[in-house]
Structure 1
């Protein structure tokens, strides 16, 4: 699994513990974490634990999470990656978040397009999925802009912040 991907304005680098300070600032923002399945972090140790858990999934070839670096400033502005990698069925689920001060600049689209390109053209995957809370209008607009198809609502399918939540399933096939 490649640990660095580049776009015109971004570098996606496999997340590492040394990124914890920057990621803590993002993951402690209530607006950023509103639709994430984590509570906003209150200390950097939580970010370190998250990165270590994600690294364990990477070591098991089950997932990979990238820190998103803004090329011009070399600052971490978010993260993205494959929440699950299913090589047997040639599919993955993606996830992403961007620091609030960088919202509305197309960075999430740029990062997701790179994830799609890598999944389809290098991993030879057939399907990419994204699960989004129905109230997360910005993420839904982004996925629709990238031609993901709405497949339906998974009712009370996951526990987030101690509550079972609905999730809308979106997908994009290699042939779409």
Structure 2
């Protein structure tokens, strides 16, 4: 799969678009919160430069056709409230992609991510041509686990020592949704 132009996506309340360096202050605000970064295996950001580096890193992964990460912007006032995207995809030995997402804490539990992930999943199946979409969570990330189940993901199991987080290897739950299961 090779996207030549970074696509903008729209939902009822949000625009998903490529982030730029001008978005760094909002990215810093989100990722400097320990509650947001806890399940990402990263320490909270300490400087605006870390936010700039993250934006450049994400945009470079898109240029290299390795990943795509959108900023999530509220339509009403263009506020950046989080990010979402595909951390990668495999099209040679199957047709699957891995989604990931985050939101600023003040936007949690408002139904925003349900709306956003439905758009992201449709893009994966319809535009990217994926057959399987995967998501990985920490074993105790109950809000994320509940979100994935709510939108139709099935838990495939626990992957032992799957990711490196805060100085050690941790188990992750693997979830998947097949194109044939998507409404």
Task: Give the structure-2-normalised TM-score.
Answer: 0.93
Give runs of ≥4 in structure 1 deviating > 2 Å.
none
| Alignment of 1:18 onto 2:49 | no
How many residues are matched? 176
Q: CA RMSD in A?
A: 1.0
- Structure 1 residue 87, shift from structure 2 partner: 2.7
What is the distance in 1 between the residues matched to 2:106 and 2:163? 29
- Structure 1 residue 48, shift from structure 2 partner: 0.9
- Counterpart of 1:121 (choices 116, 122, 126) is 126
What is the distance in 2 between the residues matched to 1:37 and 1:5? 28
- Structure 1 residue 79, shift from structure 2 partner: 0.5
- Structure 1 residue 146, shift from structure 2 partner: 0.6
| Alignment of 1:47 onto 2:55 | no
- Structure 1 residue 91, shift from structure 2 partner: 1.1
- Counterpart of 2:166 (choices 161, 165, 171) is 161
- Structure 1 residue 85, shift from structure 2 partner: 2.1
Contact 1:61 1:85 in 2 (8 A): no
For structure 2, the 5+ residue unaligned runs are none
- Structure 1 residue 157, shift from structure 2 partner: 1.2
SS at match of 2:36: helix
What is the distance in 2 between the residues matched to 1:40 and 1:56? 22
SS at match of 1:8: coil
**Aligned residue runs from structure 1 range 15-164, under 5 A:** 15-88=19-92, 89-164=94-169
